[in-house]
Amino acid sequence: MNIFKDYQTAISVFSGLSLALFVLSLLSIPWMVCRIPEDYFLASPRDKPGQKSIFVRVVKGFVKNFLGAGFFLAGFVLLFIPGQGLLTMLLGLIIMDFPGKKKVVERLASMKNVQTSLNWIRGKKQVQPLRFPVPNPSRQGHKNE
């Protein structure tokens, strides 16, 4: 059992990071889930008001993608430690802007357990539940989705 003594610092650091990530997800995920518009998964993309400065758009895009990537990676880690991994990954994807985002978000949000978890959180905060598209039964057997 010398392995614990040899790696005591690393184990302590990773344990602390794991605990911090868990607590951060418990605090931030419900707040973010309640901020999603209830028709987000039904509505077509909203027109974004034009910003005059390209600098503001670039900085805003960078910050959003950096924050979203952080949540996505934290969600991946939370798949293996206690926490809300899929929800954190979904919220990270919602924050980011990248080609094909809509299809990836729809795929993840179509999972029944994700939908149930999102609406459970919203119910606890007394926020209207999210509405999801009704699955098309004629496409459920196809592998090329």
| Structural domain count, the chain | 1
Token pair for residue 38? 């209830």
Q: Whole-number mean pLDDT of the chain? A: 83
Domain with 78 in it: 24-43+52-131
Token pair for residue 108? 């993840």
Question: How far is C-alpha 13 from the chain's CA centre?
Answer: 25
- Looking at residue 145, its pLDDT comes to 43
In our burial notation (b when 16+ CB lie closer than 10 A, e otherwise), range 50-77 reads: eeeeeeeeeeeeeeeeeebeebbebbeb
Higher pLDDT, 142 or 56: 56
- pLDDT over 90 at 35, yes or no: yes
Question: pTM of whole model > 0.75?
Answer: no
CA 68/CA 7 separation, integer angstroms: 32
- pLDDT over 70 at 118, yes or no: yes
The verdict on residue 1 lying in a domain is no
At 3, is the secondary structure helix, strand, or coil? helix
The verdict on residue 33 lying in a domain is yes
